[in-house]
Structure 1
């Protein structure tokens, strides 16, 4: 079965089959990526557990895992809080992903003809996407489809997944300030066209260039580098849903 067939059919496991800590991690990661949890915001284990309907133990385990992923920071005196966004980290992530996707595309088994058709379908849908959030998700789906499944080496697959997850918080905000949507979609189409010609070297070069647009002069970055106040001082711990939304 091709990647495109699996994407269309949907093959994700139901959340109830995952351990509670993994369920909590997935929900918290989604809140972090979608901006429900802001940089510097305090994270109260009890309040998060109440909202999720679980005890503090799986919440604490989930927060520890998210700390290892770079989404959450921990202070010995103040506990867990949402990790700040910094331009330095964001630029490093873009450079690493650009290099790794370039190498993976050149070295791995190329996408099937059906996958290339599906990539163009995603580009068409992105041009017509009615919202920014839908456009961002279609962009992610395009990159996941380009380099997905067993045809990509395990190390590439695991590391790219980890880096993309960490980049997601930057992507959602940066794409608001991106070149126009048609320009980015045109770059996607040029990569697919190179793959159809069998020119993976050219496709890899175009893919790397495509990833590096946020490093261009004048791009506005959604970074503050501080806790929630933006002035180096910490807010009082949030209460109620403010701690988890």
Structure 2
């Protein structure tokens, strides 16, 4: 077990093929965004290298890249720590997310296809089931897939690229409030699907705006509680 508390077996050994430092980076980023590695947690190079089955060099390079991107803080004479997001950082990120997602919902309503709507309905059913079974990791993954499917329906490559750049951070902020949002989040998803199916651009925009605002509010309430 890592000294910082990561469960044994939570970090998968990496396959050798492919750029090793890239694979180490992706693995660590996934552990951070899913909160397997918690904000403020100390990241010890030697322990991470042992769990990943690699040398310390690709771990060091990955940590440096994660530091540059704001996921990890490198502190002189102390080492690496998972970044602890400030309220201001969360506010800025989630506000931008609302703008992107609301426009995606509008475009999805304008471009809706029966196949795309069926995909949203399937994901919504999976999310509802995961909530009932209290499978929070599945809830988070399915939520991300649902929003990605809305973005795909929007059929705007530039918007999708921008959304992808903030998507992982959105997941980082959503994970702690996924249980708190619970069924209500998926009720809102159902309402959104109905608006998209009706090709009601205004309604879809409003529902998505309110939906993302609820997540933002939940995050701030949790942190201030």
Quote the residue 1:83 is aligned against: 83
Q: Is the 8 A contact 2:124 2:189 kept in 1?
A: yes
Q: Is the 8 A contact 1:90 1:170 kept in 2?
A: yes
Quote the residue 2:119 is aligned against: 118
Distance 1:104 1:150 in 2: 5
Between structures 1 and 2, the one with greater helix share = 2
Deviations 1:87-140 (A, max 9, x none): 222222211101011223435773432111111111112222222222222111
Is the alpha carbon distance of 1:93 and 1:46 closer, same or farther for their aligned partners in structure 2, counting shifts above 3 Å? same
Quote the residue 1:54 is aligned against: 54
Quote the residue 2:212 is aligned against: 211
Quote the residue 2:43 is aligned against: 43
Q: What secondary structure sits across from 1:40 in the alignment?
A: coil
Is the alpha carbon distance of 1:74 and 1:39 closer, same or farther for their aligned partners in structure 2, counting shifts above 3 Å? same
Quote the residue 1:136 is aligned against: 140
Aligned residues: 208
Is the alpha carbon distance of 1:221 and 1:86 closer, same or farther for their aligned partners in structure 2, counting shifts above 3 Å? farther
Question: Quick check: 195-204 or 212-221, which moved more?
Answer: 212-221
Deviations 1:140-173 (A, max 9, x none): 111111113892223x222212212112222111
Deviations 1:51-85 (A, max 9, x none): 21222222122222222332211223323211013
The TM-score with structure 2 as length reference comes to 0.80
The TM-score with structure 1 as length reference comes to 0.74
Distance 1:52 1:149 in 2: 37
Give the number of the structure with larger relative contact order, counting CA–CA contacts within 8 Å between residues 6 or more apart. 1
Quote the residue 1:231 is aligned against: none
Quote the residue 1:164 is aligned against: 167
Is the alpha carbon distance of 1:38 and 1:217 closer, same or farther for their aligned partners in structure 2, counting shifts above 3 Å? closer
Distance 1:97 1:144 in 2: 12
Could you tell me which runs of 5 or more consecutive residues in structure 2 were left unpaired when the two chains were aligned: 1-13
